[in-house]
């Protein structure tokens, strides 16, 4: 399966730039999730890869070969949208056979392709069913089988799980990844759902305003974000601004209320303006143990596996954490609690040039 390289890709629609000098590599056989907010350029990136959109500048390379001007059908890259686009008047089997038929495969080749795809997506017993008779998960598998039956080398998925209910979406995450891996097919999966990307991807590419801002394994982008935006978009975070007062194995900033807040080692110098970021899932509260901050509980929201706790902290505003449901009865709205975290998991960033609010904005 091919390696994909997008090199300096810019796509302009009049005065609007959908992609801005975008550079990304997708490795041979990799499952890469392209993660970003609405309007970041995710779908446009897929359209450039499969040849449906020509870039204003830049190159598209498959295995080192420039395919920027190559027709879509010659790229053998298939794009699957969240609506699946199955032919409603065709059975499962006929939908899968459509590609081989229009490519004039001989009868034996068509039968072999359809049979193998039905087995692969576990729809052999539903071969004669119509799309309206299938569940959402079956429709997705039918659409995948149709896309792959004609020999696609690259699978491009545009939020393929978005239209499904929550339970089915979770069930199909690993099923979809396993299918792509079993075929050793190079896959780019577009999503705005951080949990989906963390669970499914070999690597995650975070895209914002038409450009890639960080690429790494799910663990790398979660634990070592390169910017406050990434820290907040992949695992919601708390933020406090201040001035660097101590450096070394631990970086300590002083906030505007004079409180000293510790974080991990950073490259910042003494006196620099900084932002400390702490994931809400890695923030702890206590009524007895001392903390770095003190806050008043504003509300407790039961979320099933966790209880989300919002607090108000003087001179900072809202600060949040998650606690186990078994501890929910230990805390009440209006109580004052101590807030703490392990310094080694708190990230220190330079203060953004455009301001923290603009940095965190989700377009």
- Residue range 10-66, pLDDT digits in tens: 999 988 899 999 999 999 999 999 999 999 999 999 999 999 999 999 999 999 999
Phi, psi of 158 (to 5 degrees): -100, 95
Structure confidence at residue 67 (pLDDT)? 96
DSSP-assigned letters across all residues of 78-137 = EEEETT----TTS-HHHHHHHHHHHTT--HHHHHHHHHHHHHHTT-GGGTT--GGGS-HH
**Per-residue pLDDT at 137:** 79
pLDDT for 260 equals 97
Residue ranges in the chain modelled with pLDDT below 70: 1-2, 82, 163
Query: Hey, what domains does the chain have and what are their CATH numbers?
Result: 4-223 (3.40.50.300), 236-360 (2.40.50.100)
Q: Which helix (H) or strand (E) holds 295?
A: strand 293-302
Nearest to 77 by CA among 2, 152, 180: 152
Per-residue model confidence (pLDDT) at position 252:
98
pLDDT of residue 179: 81
């Amino acid at each position: 399966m091919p390696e994909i390289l997008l090199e300096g890709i810019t796509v302009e629609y009049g005065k609007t730039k959908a992609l801005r000098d975008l550079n990304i590599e997708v490795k041979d056989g990799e499952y890469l999730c392209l993660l970003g907010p609405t309007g970041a350029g995710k779908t446009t990136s897929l359209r450039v890869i499969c040849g449906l959109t020509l870039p204003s500048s830049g190159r598209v390379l498959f295995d080192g070969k420039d395919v920027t001007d190559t027709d879509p059908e010659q790229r053998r890259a298939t794009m699957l949208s969240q609506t699946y686009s199955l032919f409603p008047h065709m059975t499962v089997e006929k939908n899968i056979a459509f590609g081989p038929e229009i490519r004039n495969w001989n009868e034996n080749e068509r039968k072999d392709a359809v049979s193998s795809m039905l087995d692969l997506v576990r729809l052999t017993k539903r071969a004669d069913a119509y799309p309206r008779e299938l569940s959402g998960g079956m429709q997705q598998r039918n659409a995948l089988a149709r896309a792959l039956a004609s020999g696609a080398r690259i699978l491009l998925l545009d939020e393929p799980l978005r239209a499904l209910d929550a339970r089915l979406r979770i069930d199909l995450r690993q099923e979809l990844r396993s299918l792509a891996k079993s075929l050793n097919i190079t896959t780019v999966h577009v999503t705005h759902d951080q949990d989906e990307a963390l669970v499914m991807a070999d690597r995650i590419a975070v895209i914002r305003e038409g450009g890639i801002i960080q690429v790494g394994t799910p663990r790398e982008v979660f634990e070592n974000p390169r910017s406050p935006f990434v820290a907040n978009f992949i695992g919601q975070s708390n933020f406090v601004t201040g001035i660097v007062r101590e450096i070394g194995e631990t970086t300590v900033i002083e906030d505007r209320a004079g409180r000293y807040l510790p974080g991990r080692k950073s490259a910042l110098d003494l006196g620099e303006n900084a932002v400390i970021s702490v994931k809400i899932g890695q923030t702890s509260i206590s009524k007895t143990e001392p903390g770095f901050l003190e806050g008043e509980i504003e509300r407790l929201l039961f979320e099933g596996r966790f209880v989300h706790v919002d607090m108000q902290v003087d001179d900072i505003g809202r600060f949040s954490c998650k606690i186990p449901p078994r501890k929910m009865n230990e805390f009440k709205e209006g109580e004052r609690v101590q807030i703490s975290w392990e310094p080694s998991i708190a990230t220190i960033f330079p203060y953004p040039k455009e301001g923290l609010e603009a940095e965190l904005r989700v377009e």
